[in-house]
């Protein structure tokens, strides 16, 4: 994040900005994180709900590596300093774009639209789920550290998010590319390295509840005690997002901002395809687990990667104009000159 006075040039490009007027709960710039640095003790981080992050980016023509703004439970309000092409995806936060004359236009994710200089975007509380992603064409241009723009520092009022000026008509990606989250299905897990320490291998039969102190580092769960055999000389082991550890008889599911080593018994691991469901699990929500084989988990991962890749490719062709989109500056109801009228 930068101050309003020093947002001018990024990598040789003239850039614009989005100013934070009111910050929600834990909004952070995120991309794909920092894979490949765990041996240095650097957490991977990145967007918690990768499919929603990727969809928001795709709607404004970005690849999934572009940085989006991850907003948690409540969005806040933001003012565009130049025309911007933005998109929202993820948890359904009510969105209102207010023009400089005060006229409102309401949206619901997933949606892409343009903002004129001076427009204010107001994002309320998510009706369901937890995390919403605000993307901009070209990605948010926060500083790159170890190959990533991801930050664990939350945004604050007065922060300025650098971005390349752009424009987009109002667009909806269409139902064929929206991947709904099944809140009722069990979270699938494979055995962790300490599964043999469990007093009862059928621990997953019970329901657990997401506690309010859950965050990007991990989801703390409440419910029946999960007994594990103590090992006095147990060494810490490498852990990664999705690891299920047991502390004080209660499970903790590690999130994307977790550390690289853990000392608690590591009894299971959430399959990668279900991590987004954990990202959208609200406090108070019941969680159940279902063990599957490692080979089954690999098949799910391959199928999910293929489905997400196809969805990103189809966003542009399946995007639909919604009546009432604001005209771009000097270019009619379309994108900036040279980009055409569709997300590309």
| Best CA proximity match to 315, nearest among 179, 176, 133 | 176
Does 117 lie in the same domain as 36?
yes
Q: What is the domain range of residue 32?
A: 9-173
E strand or H helix at 57: helix 50-59
Q: Provide the pLDDT for residue 317.
A: 61
User: Does residue 100 sit within a domain?
Assistant: yes
Does 165 lie in the same domain as 19?
yes
- Looking at the structure of the chain, the number of domains it has is 2
d(CA 118, CA 127): 27
Q: Provide the pLDDT for residue 172.
A: 85
User: Does residue 309 sit within a domain?
Assistant: no
Does 60 lie in the same domain as 167?
yes
Tell which of 149, 173, 197 closes a domain: 173
d(CA 335, CA 340): 6
d(CA 81, CA 340): 23
Q: Are the C-beta atoms of 118 and 80 separated by less than 8 Å?
A: yes
Does 24 lie in the same domain as 162?
yes
d(CA 267, CA 189): 10
Tens-binned pLDDT, residue by residue, of the chain (344 aa): 554 434 444 454 647 799 999 998 889 999 999 999 988 999 999 999 999 999 999 999 999 999 999 999 999 999 999 999 999 999 999 999 999 888 899 998 999 999 999 999 999 999 999 999 999 999 999 999 999 999 999 999 999 999 999 988 888 887 666 666 667 899 999 999 999 999 998 898 899 999 999 999 999 999 999 999 877 777 889 999 999 999 999 999 999 999 999 999 999 999 999 999 999 999 999 999 999 999 999 999 999 888 888 877 777 665 555 554 444 433 333 333 223 333 32
Does 197 lie in the same domain as 167?
no
Place of tokens 């569709």: 342
Taking only Cα atoms into account, the Rg of the chain, rounded to an integer number of angstroms, comes to: 21
Q: Provide the pLDDT for residue 344.
A: 28
Does 133 lie in the same domain as 33?
yes
Q: Provide the pLDDT for residue 220.
A: 97
Q: Are the C-beta atoms of 205 and 232 separated by less than 8 Å?
A: no
Q: Provide the pLDDT for residue 193.
A: 94
User: Does residue 332 sit within a domain?
Assistant: no
Q: Provide the pLDDT for residue 325.
A: 45
d(CA 298, CA 241): 16
CATH number, domain containing residue 235 = 2.40.100.10
User: Does residue 193 sit within a domain?
Assistant: yes
User: Does residue 307 sit within a domain?
Assistant: no
Intra-chain end-to-end CA distance of the chain, in Å: 27
Tell which of 281, 298, 315 closes a domain: 298
Half-sphere exposure of 254 (CA within 13 A, CB side): 30
User: Does residue 328 sit within a domain?
Assistant: no
Does 67 lie in the same domain as 94?
yes
Tell which of 115, 150, 173 closes a domain: 173
Does 99 lie in the same domain as 145?
yes
Q: Are the C-beta atoms of 114 and 137 separated by less than 8 Å?
A: no
């Amino acid at each position: 994040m930068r101050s309003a006075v020093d947002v001018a040039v990024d990598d040789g490009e003239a850039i614009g900005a989005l100013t934070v007027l009111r910050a929600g709960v834990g909004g952070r710039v995120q991309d794909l994180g920092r894979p490949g640095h765990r041996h240095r003790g650097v957490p991977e981080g990145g967007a918690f709900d990768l499919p929603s992050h990727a969809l928001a980016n795709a709607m404004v023509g970005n690849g999934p590596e572009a940085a989006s703004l991850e907003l948690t439970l409540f969005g806040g309000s933001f003012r565009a300093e130049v025309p911007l092409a933005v998109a929202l995806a993820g948890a359904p936060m009510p969105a209102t774009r207010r023009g400089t004359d005060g006229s409102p236009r309401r949206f619901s994710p997933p949606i892409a639209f343009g903002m004129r200089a001076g427009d204010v975007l107001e994002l309320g509380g998510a009706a369901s789920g937890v995390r919403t992603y605000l993307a901009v064409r070209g990605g948010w241009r926060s500083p790159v550290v170890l190959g990533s723009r991801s930050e664990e520092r939350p945004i604050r009022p007065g922060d300025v998010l650098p971005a390349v000026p752009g424009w987009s008509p109002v667009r909806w990606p269409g139902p064929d590319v929206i991947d709904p989250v099944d809140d009722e299905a069990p979270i699938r897990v494979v055995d962790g390295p300490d599964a043999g320490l469990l007093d009862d291998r059928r621990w997953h039969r019970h329901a657990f509840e997401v506690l309010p102190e859950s965050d990007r580092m991990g989801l703390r769960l409440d419910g029946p005690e999960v007994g594990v055999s103590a090992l006095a000389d147990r060494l810490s082991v490498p852990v990664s997002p999705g690891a299920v550890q047991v502390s004080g008889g209660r499970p903790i599911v590690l999130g994307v901002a977790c550390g690289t080593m853990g000392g608690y018994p590591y009894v299971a691991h959430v399959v990668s395809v279900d991590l987004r469901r954990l990202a959208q699990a609200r406090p108070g929500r019941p969680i159940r687990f279902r063990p599957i084989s490692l080979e089954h988990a690999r098949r799910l991962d391959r199928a999910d990667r293929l489905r997400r890749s196809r969805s990103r490719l189809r966003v542009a062709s399946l995007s639909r104009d919604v009546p009432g989109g604001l005209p771009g500056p000097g270019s009619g109801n379309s994108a900036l000159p040279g980009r055409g009228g569709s997300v590309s």
